[in-house]
Structure 1
């Protein structure tokens, strides 16, 4: 009996031993860090020999750079988005431009030469080149005009760029360790770090920290391998460009004067005689006349002379309203922009204008970059000739972000908010042209991007009479724009006494006639005063008004209380 038990016990012991070995082995495998290494070319998404990964700050970008003859090239969109938005690539004429406060720097495709205005300068590398449909800019050239440092590292190719300076969080490595692709000991190893080296800490978890190594890897290391987090100040010697602006030592009180022919210029003095406190007038003299950059011109020397005699500055307005003109087709060509700016400056000098007011409306999204480049280039010529540059803008909304108000606020002298057309001809519902909340939001959102001393808010001297006709379930809405006096007369003639509406900051009137309902949100002394209070509250540079001749003469007593 005993002889039979012994083999069974031995078998059981062997089974237990085998199970123990398996359990221990499993535990060892589970808790032993993997020594597998990540495929670095895959990590950096490199597929071509001349490609380089690009790390900016603590971000590994999807976009790749190029290595050509030991020169690092960064694609244009990356340069614009991350490093310096003032670089501009003209894909029509194959030019790379960079605009300073005083000059346009220009380089031709595949050239080692560039021009600062007319002065030729040469480098030992091609300044920018094409690869397929993508433009690439030599980072050494970008660095000339940008506060950045970069380091190129090979095998695999990668360039890391530092362009934000100040306090940086880092930690010292207190024990040799591995930086892994993800947090966890089973994640492949990206690189090793030695005791005493430093890593930049991006974020810290419970057991693992996301770090950026000194040689360009972004991954994870165990917290226990690091000392306490510290900060250090980083900086680089670099002189940022200084954009000087003309700033009047008084509040601007501008009125636009719509001029559609030479004869209309003769009405200026008569119209101004009915105003008070106007110090600036902007006649609608110039328009893009074709897709080549030419302008039509209704300027008048006597007009300017008479305005100056009564102490009023003249800012000639240029618009893009002519039917058939494609603003993008003009602004996206450097030669056409130059033609346009030269004509505007020549006219300003010829007619002794004090300023140029740019009123380009309904720009397509693709026209955004060419537009702001046009403003930069025009600002240089205005700055050199002592001509004020102002730019008209919609109340900020997502659809107009491409107008780049922030850059306008740097390079132009004044940024004007067209604080009206909240509801406009073609709106799907009746409503105010410029309710108080709409105007307030416009000012507040503009001030997020533009200094208050450069912001002028424009008010309307018109309102809309809305006509609503109901037929079954359908409501047809139309409107007509009327001046202040005419709108009030329309209500009076229909027996309506308007009632003050606190929400819109306007008097509201409504009446029925011939099967239609008419609605009017008036602009008059009280509504304009509420808007003027905002201009004072936010300490803006002044007020503009559209347009001369639509106002009641009494409105000027209201305006001058706040600007004079």
Structure 2
């Protein structure tokens, strides 16, 4: 019929005017179904003014109570219908009627009879008319109901607490970016807190929880800067730094709720750039940590955000004309949007205007302090010197005589020996003086795997307590001051995943001490495969001056299959992953092995032993092994069989070393390290 219903909504308002039903002209049913006004003055009908004629004539609008005149006799001339009125009509009737039968009837009697007959007809027609009218009204009402049921807009209000998944009186849902997050905050004494684990994974991984010592039952939060460290005890309002004193806040930055550590988001925001806005009814937070382009629109006229795309969906929020929304997803007739107070739902596309793309403004409230690094001029050629105790220091001269370009020597001088952070020591002044005289820096190595009292060491205990870490750091920096060596190299291996956070906190704290003392810090680390991710290579790169990738042990003593110690693909992948993790190439060193493994496979059992480069050549010659170049491994490969045992060697020699050096040069990294001088 040419009708359109695109403006028809809000049945609950009982208003179907121009804001609702739009046809060829606007119909107004404000008076109900018995009143119609087309707003142009055409035809006003009210059912108490309907005229009715039972004999087919078009009567004037006449009240029911008035007596109705007899219908006049019809004339046959020219086919016109006339009616007579007054006494002339009555005379004509009296003059032409004849008597019939025995009865007499006067003109007045006929008129009376006619009146009665017509009255009887009216009385018999009225119930029919009422029934028809009732049917008509009911039909119209039923049709209107069907129409409204199909095309009217639901006014049902959605439960926003349910929509936001509010889980309790102190629960604060979070809209993270443009999505309702599974992470929730907790409101405690009017302050919004978030679980420490969520803060670390989503906002700032540098916050660390630990204990002062084994007797500490409360714990503390630590946060490291390039040259200082912040500390606050859980539940306390006091915050202190080693160099800046202390201050008291009007809330506790960290609290313990049923064994779970929470951080106040206001406190986190002091050291982290993210956007945060709080809304009420229900309580919720909008948090933004990424900034880019977004699509926005303006609401063209008053409408609603609904739980899904459809007019029957419950209403989440009313939107006024001119309101701004973020358009998250556009469909055929509806769009998913986020309102200015972070309600996410659906709006009809026809209510969106001025759709455009804009660039979000990044939050930059916090200026991250620059981490400066101590550097070594030129390319690095670093050789590890495994002294096996102070008596091994005397081998420096003989070992260095076989080298040409080594400019850093790293003696294994310190071994963590107990849970209090004490170390065994092997440093001597003579060694440092001798190395310096050769033009080499000395980077002393500290490890956690070679102590003579290793059975007393628990990685978990000495790494998780601030007292033990501080003790270890103090001993190392004091040794550097005493002997004048140039750097400290950390070689902590076999750290369990549960202590990954403790390990990286130790690196941060050690870096502060080294930076303040002018000591170069380097860290030996595994290639960043997923099973090594708890070593936090990216964070090591922030605080350490140099990262040394241990580009060996691809196959090691405990491997269940024979293979290369350091194939060319393994070396390449290790360097590439470090660069991908943000390690600057001018602070990246790759360590290569000066050894190979002799693998024996006997009845499915695999075993191996490590031999130095010269010893490997002697072994190959002694066993008459055939040697061939393996392009896949980037190494020579030797194999033989003895007494049913299969013997295999992936050989490290001058040719394989050159292959690795070529890869390092192609990446442009800082240098190479060798395990070990021999």
Is TM > 0.5 for Structure 1 vs Structure 2?
yes
Alignment-derived partner of residue 577 in structure 2: 445
> How do 1:79-118 residues align onto structure 2 when only pairs under 5 Å count?
79-90=199-210, 93-118=218-243
Contact 1:168–1:234 (CA<8 Å) still a contact in 2?
no
Alignment-derived partner of residue 309 in structure 1: 437
User: Aligned partners of 1:161 and 1:263: how far apart in 2?
Assistant: 59
User: Aligned partners of 2:448 and 2:233: how far apart in 1?
Assistant: 29
Give CA deviations for 1:220-273 in whole Å, capped at 9, x if unaligned: 323332221321341334322211112223111111111221101111122111
Which fold has the larger relative contact order, with Cα–Cα distance below 8 Å and residues 6 or more apart in sequence? 1
> How do 1:502-513 residues align onto structure 2 when only pairs under 5 Å count?
502-513=631-642
Deviates most, 394-403 or 146-155: 146-155
Give CA deviations for 1:106-134 in whole Å, capped at 9, x if unaligned: 11122111101150112122221111122
Instruction: Indicate which of 364, 383, 406 corresponds to 1:255.
Output: 383
Secondary structure in structure 2 of the residue aligned to 1:38? coil
Contact 1:93–1:333 (CA<8 Å) still a contact in 2?
no
User: Aligned partners of 1:479 and 1:30: how far apart in 2?
Assistant: 79
Deviates most, 457-466 or 248-257: 248-257
User: Aligned partners of 1:532 and 1:341: how far apart in 2?
Assistant: 34
Alignment-derived partner of residue 281 in structure 1: 409
User: Aligned partners of 1:511 and 1:540: how far apart in 2?
Assistant: 38
User: Aligned partners of 1:133 and 1:162: how far apart in 2?
Assistant: 28
* 1:33, distance to aligned residue in structure 2 (A): 3.3
Instruction: Indicate which of 320, 340, 346 corresponds to 1:220.
Output: 346
User: Aligned partners of 1:22 and 1:492: how far apart in 2?
Assistant: 103
Deviates most, 183-192 or 243-252: 183-192
> How do 1:498-537 residues align onto structure 2 when only pairs under 5 Å count?
498-537=627-666
Alignment-derived partner of residue 499 in structure 2: 367
* 1:340, distance to aligned residue in structure 2 (A): 1.9
User: Aligned partners of 2:250 and 2:223: how far apart in 1?
Assistant: 19
User: Aligned partners of 1:122 and 1:443: how far apart in 2?
Assistant: 46
TM-score by length of 2: 0.75
* 1:432, distance to aligned residue in structure 2 (A): 0.7
Q: Does 1:407 align with 2:535?
A: no
* 1:313, distance to aligned residue in structure 2 (A): 0.8
Q: Does 1:143 align with 2:269?
A: yes
Secondary structure in structure 2 of the residue aligned to 1:234? coil
* 1:423, distance to aligned residue in structure 2 (A): 1.0
Q: Does 1:157 align with 2:277?
A: no
Alignment-derived partner of residue 593 in structure 2: 460
Give CA deviations for 1:64-115 in whole Å, capped at 9, x if unaligned: 2222333222221221111111111226651011111121111112211110
User: Aligned partners of 2:444 and 2:599: how far apart in 1?
Assistant: 33
* 1:169, distance to aligned residue in structure 2 (A): 3.3
Instruction: Indicate which of 484, 488, 491 corresponds to 2:613.
Output: 484
Equivalent pairs, count: 536
**Structure with the higher fraction of residues in strand conformation:** 1
Alignment-derived partner of residue 672 in structure 2: 543
* 1:20, distance to aligned residue in structure 2 (A): 9.6
Q: Does 1:72 align with 2:176?
A: no
Give CA deviations for 1:204-225 in whole Å, capped at 9, x if unaligned: 3343333222212222323332
**Root mean square deviation, CA, Å:** 2.4
With over 3 angstroms needed to count, the CA separation of the structure-2 counterparts of 1:129 and 1:491, relative to structure 1, is same
Secondary structure in structure 2 of the residue aligned to 1:445? helix
User: Aligned partners of 2:519 and 2:209: how far apart in 1?
Assistant: 27
> How do 1:334-483 residues align onto structure 2 when only pairs under 5 Å count?
334-449=466-581, 450-470=583-603, 475-483=604-612
Contact 2:218–2:234 (CA<8 Å) still a contact in 1?
no
Q: Does 1:32 align with 2:152?
A: yes
User: Aligned partners of 1:375 and 1:420: how far apart in 2?
Assistant: 22
User: Aligned partners of 2:596 and 2:279: how far apart in 1?
Assistant: 64
Secondary structure in structure 2 of the residue aligned to 1:346? helix
Contact 2:511–2:544 (CA<8 Å) still a contact in 1?
yes
Structure 2 residue runs without a partner (length 5+): 1-130, 212-216
Contact 1:52–1:159 (CA<8 Å) still a contact in 2?
yes
With over 3 angstroms needed to count, the CA separation of the structure-2 counterparts of 1:482 and 1:58, relative to structure 1, is same
Secondary structure in structure 2 of the residue aligned to 1:316? strand
With over 3 angstroms needed to count, the CA separation of the structure-2 counterparts of 1:410 and 1:25, relative to structure 1, is same
* 1:26, distance to aligned residue in structure 2 (A): 5.0
Deviates most, 530-539 or 336-345: 336-345
User: Aligned partners of 1:19 and 1:146: how far apart in 2?
Assistant: 67
* 1:62, distance to aligned residue in structure 2 (A): 2.3
TM-score by length of 1: 0.90
Give CA deviations for 1:258-294 in whole Å, capped at 9, x if unaligned: 1221101111122111111101111111122112222
Structure 1 residue runs without a partner (length 5+): 1-10, 550-564
Q: Does 1:267 align with 2:392?
A: no
With over 3 angstroms needed to count, the CA separation of the structure-2 counterparts of 1:377 and 1:186, relative to structure 1, is farther
